[in-house]
């Protein structure tokens, strides 16, 4: 399978063929269909954030389909969809998500401290009234380094998504 690999911080990602991993106990193998390009990856590639052991396959805003499940996975099966939920402007205190409807179905949960609860209320009201239009573009994996250059230059209007065919 193809992957964009970070071998060294500050260096471009390298598109390589890698072995398809096998899910271990409690793990799910996801065939990624699309993945958002995030500033998290930009900062990681630039070496601005501490990285785990290299080489590293980046990408955390993925949508895909489970192709295999490891032993001890009970609430997920091959063919189930898996994606990421991003939460912004969270209330103080604990935040509870139902296991069966989210984590057990492979939905990754990300949070952001950027913005306030009022900001979130206003955005949700705009979305509910149909006044928000998503602006985005897709690109093939081979163009990921160019996408990072565009992010650094501030020339992206909206969202970039890598599509895997």
Show me where the domains of the chain are located: 2-84+134-163
pLDDT of residue 152: 92
Residue 127's pLDDT band, with cuts at 50, 70 and 90, is confident
64-83 burial, b for 16+ CB within 10 Å, e for fewer? bbbebbeeebeebeeeeebb
112 or 49, greater pLDDT: 49
Q: What average pLDDT score do residues 36-61 get? A: 85
Using alpha carbons only, what angle is made at residue 104 by residues 101 and 106, rounded to the nearest 5 degrees?
Answer: 95
- Region of 126 please: left (phi>0), alpha (psi -120 to 50) or beta: alpha
Side-chain half-sphere of 125: how many Cα atoms within 13 Å? Answer: 6
pLDDT at residue 105 in the model: 57
Q: Which residues contact 53 (CB under 8 A, 6 or more apart)?
A: none
Q: What is the mean pLDDT of residues 97-120?
A: 61
CATH number for the segment(s) 2-84+134-163: 3.90.180.10
């Amino acid at each position: 399978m193809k992957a964009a690999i970070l071998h060294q911080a500050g260096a471009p990602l390298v598109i390589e063929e890698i072995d398809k991993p096998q899910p271990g106990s409690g793990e799910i193998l996801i065939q990624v269909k699309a993945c958002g390009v995030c500033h998290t990856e930009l900062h990681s590639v630039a070496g601005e954030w501490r990285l785990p052991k290299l080489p590293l396959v980046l990408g955390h805003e993925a949508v895909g389909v489970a192709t295999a499940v490891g032993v001890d996975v009970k609430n997920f099966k091959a063919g189930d969809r898996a994606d990421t939920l991003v939460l912004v402007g969270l209330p103080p205190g604990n935040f509870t998500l139902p296991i069966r409807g989210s984590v057990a179905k492979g939905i990754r949960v990300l949070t952001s401290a950027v913005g306030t609860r009022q900001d979130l209320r206003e955005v949700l009201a705009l979305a509910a009234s149909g006044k928000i239009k998503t602006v985005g573009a897709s690109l093939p994996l081979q163009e990921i380094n160019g996408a990072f250059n565009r992010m650094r230059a501030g020339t992206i209007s909206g969202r970039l998504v890598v599509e895997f065919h």
